Structure 1
Amino acid sequence: MPTNKKIIIIGGGIGGAATALALHRIGLEAVVYEQTKQLREVGAGIALWANATHILKNFGLLEEALGVGYVTTNYQFNSQNGKELVNIPVDGFELPVIAIHRAELHQLLWRNVPNENFVLGQTFEKLEIAENKVCAHFSSGLIVEGNALIGADGLRSRVQDALKCHAPLIYRNFKTWRGLTDYVPRGYRPGYIQEFLGGGQGFGFMMLGKGRMYWYAVATATEGQPDAPIGRRKELESMFQDWFASVPELIAATDEANILTTDLYDRPPTKPWSKQNITLLGDAAHPMLPTMGQGACTALEDAFVVAKCLKQPFNPTLAFQQYELERFPRTKAMVEQSLRAGKMGELHHPLSVAVRNTFMKLMGATISSSFKSLHAYRA
């Protein structure tokens, strides 16, 4: 049995920071190696559903999250002109649903871990396994040895590449934009996430903490499609000009610099995602579309479970097998459900869109029940 147990974590985003915190809480040394030179989380807002706030409660961070986030009570789906299709109450759990800026969540996690457990400006290159140790090599020339290694380095994981255990990413024909503004539209309903569905396009928004509004837009597009020459904001204003009034209002009120854009990818769920004393976590293990809002939430679940599996007796190989066994069915369901939801957004023909909207209205109770069971899960 090793006397000094060190876990190397590659990637300092939400998944990596949460894992470092979870391992620190059970007395294991976990050191995060992050390629950026400043520990920060880019992006905008996320919804922490009850399955994720359960993890924050176990970390002792729920009250702090409530202090910087905003409690969400309903998830409302609408047609593009604002006609309600489904209205799902999400405040019936024993735990709250919190809308929060990604950076606020990131800070909550990493400031509860000693600063020396984060090593910045280190780009992972390769790994080696020798007996019960793993060595991580970085582009700077740094070589680090540990008892185990966890790849939490995101969608294009270098650790995943080193393990050669997964198929390539699949582009799902959607481009997304995310915006942040202090403007609150006239049509906003307090406590609501409001989502609007059109033909091959969608738009949603929610209140975060500190009076900020987060919005997201999505549209079918070719992979790598560049911004329009007129700029992101004007392109979006043109795309959504005849939608429910709050949509063009929010776009117009957002500075161009506060609009981010990315292509959307996932990967069919496959295993193994572990090899001996090395495993993957979050998007590195199970990238999914954002349609169910479960990317960060499942990364928090992963962190909690992998720490639970690494408790004494300390055996990383067996622990990672158990972790994967427990997490694969859950994350597989999330990836597949997120993809199905995405497929519903690909419809372009007005008749197909009308049929989809009618179906959603008729199946409102079933959709609500499925939604609640998804978030009732407790890792």
Structure 2
Amino acid sequence: MRKIIIIGGGIGGTATALALNQAGFEPVVYERTQVLREVGAGIALWANATHILKKLGLLETAIQVGCLTTNYQFNSQRGKELVNIDLDGFELPVVAIHRAELHQLLWRNVPGEKFHLGETFERFEHQHDRVHAYFVSGLEVEGDGLIGADGLRSRVRATLLGDTPPTYRNFKTWRGLTDYVPSNYRPGYIQEFLGGGKGFGFMMLGKGKMYWYAAATAPEAQPDAVFGRKQELETMYQDWFSAIPELIAATDEANILTTDLYDRPPTQPWSKGNITLLGDAAHPMLPTMGQGACTALEDAYVVAKCLEENSDPIAAFQRYEDLRFPRTKAIVEQSLRSRKMGELKNPFAVSLRNTSMKIMGSAISSSFKSLHAYRA
């Protein structure tokens, strides 16, 4: 039984531990936080991701704690429909779920002894055909391979490839969670609204929760307004579609999180020898296509399958990278192109974009569906 060290216990790392455990490996996860948890955000698991959950035996439970999603609707800021994409055409459902629910679903199906919390990765060394990982606490462990699933600012990536910073993409985002459901919400819909230099979207999660997200152009590390995030957002979106100011008003200030948006230009390699990267550590992307967690689930399943098929972790990790790079590169680049459409501020340019989206609705829908028709 080959031992695989996983650095990072988020969705990608935990999904990898589960896939490897089911395949008969000995995965061991080292996570720097003291408690395994995800906070503050909902995600849409498109059919390419629910396919992975089905393979892992978790889809039915995910449906129970999430919310089935049938349509993705793009609108102008005042609510005029631009494109309405039917999501019912796949053999698998699209599920909107809170990140914490998905995270718990994954880690509860991995034996508890596979997780070591409160361990901050420091460095690694190769000794013969083994990899040794060292932690700030003084802990040293060895394994047949190591997977860095430690996020956007991955320490494993920095050690492996050099400590180059991610690229800020001139947007910040806010995320909120509330029990309030607007009267004009369309059940089963993800509704997204596009304005000048900013946007807003919302969708129903499981357990009666409504998740919303906002994004706007901003300088990097811009501080909150002196009067707080909630009031700032109420001012920014006061003349938008009526459900939007209603949702902001119904959300407690403490339940509004904000994050700057980064990615990295797709580059290879992200594997060296018996060490590889996964999820945001390998290919961080903007959230505009909703594929961050979905591609991390794909990575987890594919890397486990490659290790099953190759007795040598070096060959397995190279095969995994060869399989994953073209797809993740395309999604990173498509996500960036979508962001550029959201940067438009000139009223004429915004109007032209909206008109173009209406005219190209069928092509947008086809492109969208081809992205989610992928099966790892």
Aligned to 2:36: 39
Q: Distance in 2 between the 1:24 and 1:362 partners?
A: 48
The alignment yields a C-alpha RMSD, in angstroms, of 0.8
Q: Give the SS at the match of 1:262.
A: strand
CA contact (8 A) 2:18 2:109 kept: yes
Supply the AA of the counterpart residue of 1:217.
A
CA distance in 2, matches of 1:5, 1:369: 42
Aligned to 1:211, what secondary structure does the other structure show? coil
Name the residue aligned to 1:188: 185
The TM-score, its normalising length taken from structure 1, stands at 0.98
Residue in structure 2 matching 1:16, options 4, 13, 18: 13
CA distance in structure 1 between the aligned counterparts of 2:163 and 2:281, rounded to whole angstroms: 10
Out of 274, 277, 280, which is 2:277 matched to?
280
How far is the alpha carbon of 1:314 from its aligned partner?
1.8
Cα pair 1:165 1:272 within 8 Å, conserved: no
Which of 84, 93, 100 is 2:90 aligned to? 93
Residue 358 of structure 1, CA deviation? 0.3
TM-score by length of 2: 0.99
Q: Distance in 2 between matches of 1:313 and 1:93?
A: 32
- Residue in structure 2 matching 1:318, options 307, 315, 319: 315
Residue 70 (structure 1) aligns with = 67
Q: CA deviation at 1:340?
A: 0.4
Q: Could you tell me how far 1:43 is from its partner in structure 2?
A: 2.7
Cα displacement (A) at 1:313: 4.2
- Equivalent in the alignment of 1:237: 234
What are the residue-to-residue correspondences of 1:50-129 with 2, within 5 Å? 50-129=47-126
More displaced stretch, 127-136 vs 278-287: 127-136
Question: Does structure 2 conserve the Cα–Cα contact (< 8 Å) formed by 1:166 and 1:270?
Answer: no
Q: Residue 353 of structure 1 aligns to a residue in which SS?
A: helix
Question: 1:312 & 1:196 partners in 2: Cα distance?
Answer: 45
Paired residues of 1:182 and 1:212 also in contact (CA < 8 A): yes
SS at match of 1:209: coil
Match of 1:7 in 2: 4
Counterpart contact for 2:40–2:255, Cα < 8 Å: no
Q: 2:249 aligns with which of 249, 252, 266?
A: 252
Matched residues in 1 for 2:82 and 2:3: separation?
Answer: 51
State the distance in 1 between where 2:10 and 2:343 align.
30
- Choose 307-316 or 66-75, whichever is displaced more: 307-316
Partner of 2:261: 264
Contact 1:171 / 1:263 at 8 angstroms: preserved in 2?
yes
Task: Give the CA deviation at 1:206.
Answer: 0.1
Q: d(CA) in 2 for partners of 1:62 and 1:314?
A: 29
- Tell me what 2:140 maps to: 143
- Offset of residue 168 of structure 1: 3.1
* Matched position secondary structure for 2:137: coil
Distance between the aligned counterparts of 2:310 and 2:94, measured in 1?
35
Structure 2 Cα separation of the partners of residues 233 and 84 of structure 1: 27
Aligned to 1:195, the other structure's residue is in SS state strand
Q: For residues 242-284 of structure 1, what are the alpha-carbon distances to aligned partners after superposition, in whole Å with 9 as ceiling and x for unaligned?
A: 0000000000000011111000000000000001000000000
User: Could you tell me how far apart the structure 1 residues matched to 2:235 and 2:252 are?
Assistant: 16
CA distance in 2, matches of 1:313, 1:84: 49
CA contact (8 A) 1:166 1:273 kept: no
User: Which residue of the partner structure matches residue 360 of structure 2?
Assistant: 363
Q: Map of 1:177-216 to 2, 5 A cutoff?
A: 177-216=174-213
In the alignment, which residue of structure 2 is the partner of 1:340?
337
**Could you tell me how far 1:167 is from its partner in structure 2?**
4.7
- Does structure 1 retain, via aligned residues, the 8 Å contact 2:4–2:28? yes
User: Which residue of the partner structure matches residue 301 of structure 1?
Assistant: 298
1:69-96 CA-to-partner distances (Å, cap 9, x unmatched) read 0000000000000000000001110000
Q: 1:28 — aligned with what?
A: 25
Q: 1:312 to 1:372 in 2, by over 3 A?
A: closer
The number of equivalent residue pairs is 376
User: For residues 105-129 of structure 1, what are the alpha-carbon distances to aligned partners after superposition, in whole Å with 9 as ceiling and x for unaligned?
Assistant: 0011000000000000000011111
Q: Residue 165 of structure 1 contacts residue 273 of structure 1 at CA under 8 Å; is this kept in 2?
A: no
CA distance in 2, matches of 1:169, 1:101: 26
Contact 1:151 1:279 in 2 (8 A): yes
| SS of equivalent to 1:356 | helix
What is the Cα deviation at residue 165 of structure 1? Answer: 5.6
* Structure 1 Cα separation of the partners of residues 162 and 120 of structure 2: 21
Alpha-carbon distance change, 187 to 74 in structure 1, aligned in 2, over 3 angstroms: same
Secondary structure, counterpart of 2:294 in structure 1: helix
